[in-house]
Amino acid sequence: MKRPKRNPGPGACAELIRSSGSVVVLTGAGLSTAAGIPDFRGPNGLYASRRYDPDLIFNIDHFRRDPLLFYQFTRDFMDLARNVKPTFTHRALAVLEDCGLIDGVITQNIDALHNLAGSRRVVELHGSYWSATCTSCLRGDVSGATSEKWGKWMRMSPKPPVVCCPVCGGVIKPDVVFFGEVVKDFEEASAMVSRSDLLLVLGSSLAVYPAAVLPRMASGIVMVVNRGDVSLSEGPGRYFIDQDLNDFFRAVVKELGLTVP
């Protein structure tokens, strides 16, 4: 596999995807904002607009004492997410996986848009709302939880908006990683990156740990497509493209001769 002589365009990216034995994708908040979900910490995000304190919302000890604040945030988040659909890039990644061109997706996002787009191997470092577990009886077969389902569960709960287990009445907790909890499947993500020939970092500034460590574990080429600065130093086999993700991947998919529904 030849390394590009300069930062590659879509054609070179497509050729790298085609010629690499193992391609892994790491996605961040930029992919969600492109779908219409404002960055939680941004000026239009829920933390600022609804005056939520993230140190309390996602604090596991506070949730165990009183889950109401988290579920108030969840209600607002689901109202926001109800009309959000996977972007072209989400769908393109699912098609690339179907064609055997990528091994899987590692994501920092909790919105389950990769699942909705059809990706099958998704490592969710921070968990997501896609599944949930009862904190009392540990029933964990609540899966495929879309924003519509969460909205229904919160409305029909005996303690709205807090969702309760239909078996024991305990509090249901979405499988989102809270402050004080260990990120999910980091060993699997590390192994995927370490054996990859090409790591595509999409929509991440690589400022959040431990996800920010992953590109440094790559022995192959690392290609970052992100708007704005990235906390990864330049070096051999590292390429940085400051471009709109959907525009870039439309061109990549065209070069690969694929169709994205």
Residue type, 25: V
Distances (CA, A) of 101 to 69, 75, 90, 117, 218: 42, 37, 15, 16, 18
CA 136 from centre of chain: 27
DSSP class of residue 143? E
Rounded Cα gap, residues 212 and 208, in angstroms: 6
Rounded Cα gap, residues 114 and 94, in angstroms: 8
Kindly give the residue spans of alpha helices, DSSP state H, lying in the chain: 10-19, 29-35, 46-49, 54-57, 60-65, 68-81, 88-98, 113-117, 147-156, 186-194, 214-217, 245-256
Q: Which is catalytic among the residues 62, 90, 114, 126?
A: 126
Is 90 labeled as catalytic in the residue annotation?
A: no
Residue among 189, 208, 214, 207 nearest 122 (CA): 189
Which residues are the active-site residues?
126
